Structure 1
Amino acid sequence: MKLSTKGRYAVMAMADLARRSVKGPVTLADIASRQSISLSYLEQLFAALRKGGLVSSVRGPGGGYSLARPAEDIRVYDIMLSVDEALDITRCENEAKGCMDDGRRCITHDLWDELSRHIHLFLGSITLEDVIAGRVMGAARGANDRAVEALAAE
């Protein structure tokens, strides 16, 4: 799986917004400049983020965007879902249809499906506050350590 720029840029922009919006609304032009993201692309992303209830906008002089709720209440997974970033790494179109030409699931389907679930759990466990506070590095370590211990116990 490769995350598209849509999901990555949405998270980058939201982290920038979370860090800067404590002083008031932030313009997309400022975010675009700081994060090296196209302004027109940010406009598309923020339309989806606003529709998803993650940001609110203020018009007029001094206007811009703010978080719609506190950074500790916004999960990275919420951001990804708001911009329609797919997190399913199987090749299957949907649950009813497999990825093989004859409709069967491939031999590695369960592996990729389980990895998709782990990605979902991980991104659902990380808040925007965790990102801007630098608490992401090592977040998966605890889960990994428990998995290694379980394998050693077998």
Structure 2
Amino acid sequence: MKISTKGRYGLTIMIELAKNHGKGPLSLKAIAQTNELSEHYLEQLISPLRNAGLVKSIRGAYGGYVLGDEPSNITSGDIIRVLEGPISPVEVLEDEEPAKRELWIRIRDAVKEVLDNTTLEDLANYSGGEQESYMFYI
């Protein structure tokens, strides 16, 4: 399964909203500028996210978007499914050789596990994998 720009940019929107959670609405213009993305394209992605209840729109001069739930309750799998559809590397056919069918199912389940166990809170708090520095004595 290849995640398209819809999934990648939709995840970007949601991570930015998670980083801003509790601070008020965030405009798509601000998200687009921060991430050097097309605001017009983000506008197309926000509608399915809003329809799924993952985001809420706030109208007015200081309006924008906020998360529909706590960042810890929204998974990357929720977002990818809304924007990309079901998570599956290939369509598993019943007449497929059992060994290959089992492989496709295991790959699908592994991807689902990662996506469904990674919350927006995890992604918003990710520090870039900075490693500890070690002191060596000779």
TM-score by length of 2: 0.83
Aligned length: 128
Q: 1:35 to 1:132 in 2, by over 3 A?
A: same
Equivalent residue for 1:73?
73
Inter-partner Cα distance in structure 2 for 1:59 and 1:31: 17
Matched ranges for 1:20-59 at <5 A: 20-59=20-59
Aligned residue among 94, 115, 120 for 1:123: 115
Partner secondary structure for residue 22 of structure 1? coil
In structure 1, the gaps of 5 or more residues are 138-154
Inter-partner Cα distance in structure 2 for 1:12 and 1:79: 10
Q: How far does residue 2 in structure 1 lie from its aligned partner after superposition?
A: 1.8
Q: 1:105 to 1:136 in 2, by over 3 A?
A: farther
2:112 alignment partner AA: H
Contact in 1 for aligned 2:88/2:108 (Cα 8 Å): yes
Contact in 1 for aligned 2:32/2:42 (Cα 8 Å): yes
Inter-partner Cα distance in structure 2 for 1:128 and 1:9: 14
TM-score by length of 1: 0.75
2:114 alignment partner AA: F
Q: Which has the higher contact order (CA 8 A, sep 6+)?
A: 2
In structure 2, the gaps of 5 or more residues are 130-138
Q: How far does residue 86 in structure 1 lie from its aligned partner after superposition?
A: 4.1
The Cα RMSD (Å) is 2.0
1:104 alignment partner AA: D
1:108 alignment partner AA: K
Contact in 2 for aligned 1:49/1:79 (Cα 8 Å): yes
Percent pairwise identity: 35
Runs of at least 4 residues of structure 1 off by over 3 A?
Answer: none
Q: How far does residue 28 in structure 1 lie from its aligned partner after superposition?
A: 0.4
Matched ranges for 1:5-154 at <5 A: 5-90=5-90, 92=91, 98=93, 104-105=95-96, 108-134=100-126
Q: Deviations over 1:54-74 (max 9, x none)?
A: 100011200000011110111
